[in-house]
Amino acid sequence: MWFMIELSDEAILCNEHVRLQENFERLWDLSDSPEEGAMFSGLGVGNASKLYFSPGTESFFRHVLDACGAKPCDPPTADEAGLLVGHDSARFALSGSKAES
């Protein structure tokens, strides 16, 4: 299951996205950098305040997702999200990617 956190303008001004990315990266590293766990940033107008988390994230980051009010979502498309933390292969999990076809 994919998850999405939508940050308020205030949260962005307070660098909440940076803290989330740093925490994600630390826990991802401590979990032996799982292939299926990745964090993506939203791209484009109306999507820049969103952070997306792939299904493999639940095993090591679920407590943070719950605390931040993350909501289940459909996989973002490659046009909607860019990889922040994870293996390059995680890009293929995005909806509409070449590997998914």
Instruction: Tell me what the mean pLDDT of segment 70-90 comes to.
Output: 92
- The answer to whether residue 6 sits within a structural domain is yes
Report how many domains make up the chain: 1
Mean pLDDT score of the chain, rounded to an integer?
89
- The answer to whether residue 36 sits within a structural domain is yes
Alpha-carbon gap, residue 94 to 84, rounded angstroms: 13
pLDDT band at 97, cuts 50/70/90?
low
What is the 8-class DSSP label of residue 92?
G
Question: pLDDT tens-digit profile of 53-63?
Answer: 999 999 999 99
Question: pLDDT tens-digit profile of 4-41?
Answer: 999 988 888 899 999 999 999 999 999 999 999 999 99
Rounded to two decimals, what is the model's pTM? Answer: 0.89
- The answer to whether residue 99 sits within a structural domain is no
Domain residues for the domain of 27 are: 2-93
Angle at 36 between CA 74 and CA 42, to 5 degrees: 45
- Res 41: pLDDT: 94
Alpha-carbon gap, residue 101 to 52, rounded angstroms: 21
